[in-house]
Structure 1
Amino acid sequence: MGSGKNRWKIFRRSSSPTSSSPNNETKQQPQKEFLCPISGTLMSDPVIVSSGQTFERLCVQVCKDLDSNPTLQDGSKPDFSTIIPNLALKSTILTWCSTHGIPNPSPPDYLTVEKIVRALIASSPSLEETSSKIGVSERELLERIPEKPQVIFSHAATELGHRVNHFSSGSSSEESVIANIPQTPVHLFTTRPSCYSSSASSSSSSSLEIVNDETLTSAQNPNSNSEEGEIWVKLKSLDLFMQEEGVIELRKITRNREETRVSLCTPRILSAVRSLILSRYVKVQSNAVAAVVNLSLEKSNKVKIVRSGMVPPLIDALKGGFPETQDHASGALFSLALEDDNKTAIGVLGALPPLLHALRSESERTRHDSALALYHLTLVHSNRVKLVKLNAVPSLLTLTKSNADMAGRSILMLCNLAACPEGKSAILDCKGVECLVTMLRNGVTTLSESTKENCVVALYSLSIGSLRFKGLAKEAGAAEVLRAVEAAGSERAREKAKRMLQMMRERGGEDGYGEEVDWEEVLNSDGLSRARYRLGVGGGKNVNGPNSTDF
């Protein structure tokens, strides 16, 4: 009897739908640890932040874009300075979903998360709670926000005369060593983004603009605080029309009133503009990037803008923004690359591949400013090596031969690349000597004097320390072309042509190339033959690489 009852009870427990239903419902509810504290949804890509909490990656990104650490429901404020993927929790969540027949979670929508974060920001600290943490001047600024000073938009085209200093021999240890010729830097193009032109200033969305780095004190500019606060409120507004009005106003003010470029280049303005660069609305996006251009025109702002985290969104805008936005993004990167302290950082942050791709853009402005940005970035050795690894040399040589508009700018970059061993080898491998000699031979009447001179400079850089140059130059018929340059070129070009001709005559021979070396063997031999030749000529000296040696 007892054992039968027990069996019956067990049978009833296992078969009763009413007893199992509550347990199933409980099991189907995800654990609290699986939900993002900000969005409240099941996390698809959980990451651990510095303060120890785990969030959905997109939520952390939105908080960073808005430059805010909102107070959570438990009263804590997370630290988003470092994030680490939480692979263990991600695997646990996926296993839980599979076990319960629930689809794997997908990333939340950016705009939805942005609304949630903005709501948290608005509800977090009151003005009274934060008043003790802000300075007197900031508190006065908040009180003066409703005041709207009159803004006069008058036309003014800004010429940046001081930028000429970037190309003097003392401006940069790298800039002064182009093509191993310290005293004679190559000819340069304009130092101002082409999208920043007076003819484009009539349209609120057709011109570039830039700002600076240190904020003016109220004693220096009594109206700067209230003006900056008014613009900031518009930029941070949830109302799309207010955002649009804010970026257009910032763009116009920093174009027409040069003195405001410094006072409006504040951390919170830069943070607000940075988030609007990612906007899906063309007017907001393009005017936000144009405002960055205007702010960057001031030398003192350039480093500050890069350190504010502005480069990654500018890169995204160049890669996938609206056409006008791409114009402005290339101009902004060019302007920021003029500062020596920014060159390495911009290269590390990934600007080189999209700038290289932009050289083939349909927009002349984008092509022009991207080329000049790359020229200034390749004044740094690390960026030269990166470009060589990106297989940039064949692209630049193709542009030199096929695109008359880009030929001069491509040769400028080749001059820089030829100054490093990796770039020199790549140019020689891609028949760069033949290309440059052909340019000089066929461009007597079509090329500008500066472009012809830069062709000679590039050839001279390739000739220094390279065993292969003489053979490649002979194949291309360089001696005849160089003699013509020596007779009728510019003073600088004549000097370089003369040096190359002397070097090619060093081993005798009436044709100017010498007769003691079988250059066909050098060009076509394997590494063993090249090593033997190097030892024969160099006397056992150390060499830079398989294709070059020191004379």
Structure 2
Amino acid sequence: MGGNGKHRWKISFYRSNSGSKNPPKELLCPISGSLISDPVVVSSGQTFERLSVQLCRELGFSPKLEDGTRPDFSTVIPNFAIKSTIQNWCDRNNAQHPQPPDSIALEKAVRALMEKDRVEPGIRVSERELLRGMAERPPVRYMHAATELGYRVDHFYSSSSEESVVIPSASPPTPLPFATRPSCYSSSSSSEITAELQTLNLNSSLPGCEEEEQLMTKLRSSEVIEQEEGVILLRKLTRTKEELRISLCTPRLLSAVGSLVVSRYSTVQQNALASLVNLSLEKANKVKIVRSGFVPHLVDVLKGGSSESQEHAAGALFSLALEEDNKMAIGVLGALPPLMHAFVRAESERTRNDSALALYHLTLVESNRVKLVKQHNAVQTLLALAKSPASAGRVLLILCNLASCNEGRSSMLDANAVECLVGMLRRRTEFDSESTRENCVAALYALSHGSMRFRGLAREANAVEVLSEIEKSGSERAREKANRLLMVMRGREDEPNWDSVLDSGSGPGLDPTRYRVVRNLHTANSTTF
């Protein structure tokens, strides 16, 4: 195996009998390079030796495979089909059945891959190809607010959707989607910063060439204690100084921070990630950070980092997702599955919150909506979370985005979303937030667009009764949408009767011109909500 030099990173432990053929590549573990004795399938679909997966999970590492992707080790399932295939191949070729690999040798191989992965400079090839098209669209610069936005409009419009999402307005339990700072971000007073910097023999003013060189020397040092001092200093400098965040966000510094984001030392990694969050607060820095290759590192940390590291990784992805030019790139680089997993299962409330808000902003883009819908059980999981008052507000923001695309509508209807949303509206005492009720109605309205199944599902869920109550006593926005939904439920004179069309299997009396006019009316009116 591997005599031609094409797969130099593989270390093979396989030894075949003399005269036997080389085994097919699909029967070899991509990490050890040997025949698999205990094959398992991981979440991303590849098959590995079980011990290889265990070691990678323990070390928080996901190796880069031949196709440039990195496997997801969050779920492991025995692959009995491959195991039988391997045994049959060995019998046909007079080869020994594979034995469990030596754990010590395999760990050395994994650590060697980790070291090689850590020292690779610059932007990864796959990411460079992805971001090449973004180079022609320079980021728009604007002055970053020192606090959260003081003025908030009532709607957030997707660039690719006619629908709008209602933003909670009255003392919400979680930060608003318009928040410009992740949950993990916290500021300190200037006197506190000055005192902390004095302990490192530096001042809190803008760093000159000498101070900047001192900072870079620490970040580039091979000594862990020097690295730790460097990232702590960078974190303090960028915590409250807006001008420093912009001036320090250089390719040289980002490269140095990038090498420490993947550090095996938790203190170094956590402070490097926190520094990255601080740098990402400035709009002028957001595209720079994504182009510097940080998203795959953040994805890896979100999959297997410590609780605090995951908080900062989720916060950084949320902050970077606020920039329109980053949304598609972050989705393509694989952030959606780990963000979804973190939203559902993370220990930290900060991680769950920032993961949810990152998903909301990323799904404002059509391609990311489709990716999330295609993720296994994603819609079903979101609908289950929506039933909990603690997470309903955040989940509904995501569901409203998904319902604005054909794939999302179809998947949500298949998962009984109509019954779920109507049930939430019926449980008014549990979901007492008016914005939650408004977004429930908005999601139902989005599901009704272009769907011939919606009316039947809404009738089965007794939606007319609930919507009639909202039409009488809900907020202005909720009443408007409820009124439109009731018109859809009852049928209009100028709207085709889809129940009749479905029953007959054809529409001989259907005037397609009239229906197009109705759709245009829907589109024009939707922007007022």
TM-score range (shorter-chain normalised) is 0.5 to 0.7
**Structure of higher CA gyration radius:** 1
Of the three residues 6, 11, 26, the one matched with 1:44 is: 11
1:193 to 177, 182, 186: 182
Provide the residue aligned with 2:341 in structure 1. Answer: 357
2:455 maps to 1:480:
no
Are positions 1:246 and 2:230 aligned together? yes
Q: SS where residue 177 of structure 2 aligns?
A: coil
1:504 aligns with 2:504: no
Give 1:343's match in structure 2, choosing from 324, 327, 339: 327
CA shift in 2, pair 1:167/1:451, >3 Å: closer
AA aligned opposite 1:281: Y
The answer as to whether partners of 1:224 and 1:263 remain within 8 angstroms in 2 is no
Identity of aligned residues (%): 53
Q: What is the SS of the residue equivalent to 2:390?
A: helix
Residue in structure 2 matching 1:428, options 400, 403, 413: 413
Letter matched to residue 411 of structure 1: L
Partner of 1:210: none
Question: What is the match of residue 525 of structure 1?
Answer: none
1:173 and 2:159 correspond: yes
Q: TM-score, normalised by structure 2?
A: 0.64
Residue in structure 1 matched with residue 379 of structure 2 by the alignment = 393
In 1, Cα distance between the equivalents of 2:192 and 2:302? Answer: 21
**Structure 1 residue 414 and structure 2 residue 365: aligned?**
no
Q: Structure 2 vs 1, CA of residues 368 and 201 (structure 1 numbering), >3 Å: closer, same or farther?
A: farther
Deviation at residue 543 of structure 1 after TM alignment: 11
**Pair 1:318 & 2:302 matched:** yes
For 1:107, the equivalent position in structure 2 comes to 109
Change (3 A) 1:506 1:113: closer
Taking a change above 3 Å as real, the CA distance of residues 203 and 284 of structure 1, as seen in their structure-2 partners, is farther
Over residues 141-194 of structure 1, what are the superposed CA-to-partner deviations in whole Å (9 max), with x where a residue is unaligned?
xxxxxxxxxxxxxxxx9414389699766xx623xx3xx336x75545352211
Please give the root-mean-square deviation of Cα atoms over the aligned residues, in Å.
4.4
For the 8 Å contact 2:419–2:461, the answer to whether it is kept is: yes
Q: Specify the code of the residue in structure 2 equivalent to 1:271.
A: S
Q: Is the 8 A contact 1:166 1:338 kept in 2?
A: no
Render the CA deviation track for 1:331-363: whole Å, top value 9, x for unaligned.
000000000000000000000000000112121
Assess if the C-alpha contact under 8 Å between 1:292 and 1:332 holds in 2: yes
Which of 240, 248, 257 is 1:256 aligned to?
Answer: 240
Secondary structure at the counterpart of residue 259 of structure 1: helix
Task: Give the aligned length.
Answer: 391
Aligned-partner Cα distance in 2 for 1:288–1:409:
28
Contiguous gaps of at least 5 residues in structure 2: 13-30, 33-63, 68-95, 97-101, 122-144, 169-175, 194-204, 523-529
- TM-score with structure 1 length normalisation? 0.62
SS in 1 for 2:465: helix
Determine the C-alpha separation between the residues in 2 that align with 1:384 and 1:311: 19
Q: How does 1:420-459 map to 2 (within 5 A)?
A: 420-444=405-429, 446-459=431-444
C-alpha distance in 1, partners of 2:403/2:257?
38
Counterparts of 2:301 and 2:470 in 1: how far apart (Å)?
A: 44
2: distance between equivalents of 1:295 and 1:109?
Answer: 30
Q: Choose from 282, 286, 290 the match for 2:266.
A: 282
1:37-59 per-residue CA deviation (whole Å, 9 max, x = no partner) reads xxxx99639xxxxxxxxxxx99x
What is aligned with 2:249?
Answer: 265
- Which of 299, 303, 308 does residue 287 from structure 2 map onto? 303
- Between 1 and 2, higher relative CO (CA 8 Å, sep ≥ 6) is seen in 2
The 2-side partners of 1:112 and 1:168 are apart by 42
Gaps of 5+ in 1: 1-29, 46-56, 59-81, 86-97, 121-156, 205-220, 523-528
Amino acid at match of 2:184: C
Map 1:363-382; keep pairs closer than 5 Å: 363-382=348-367
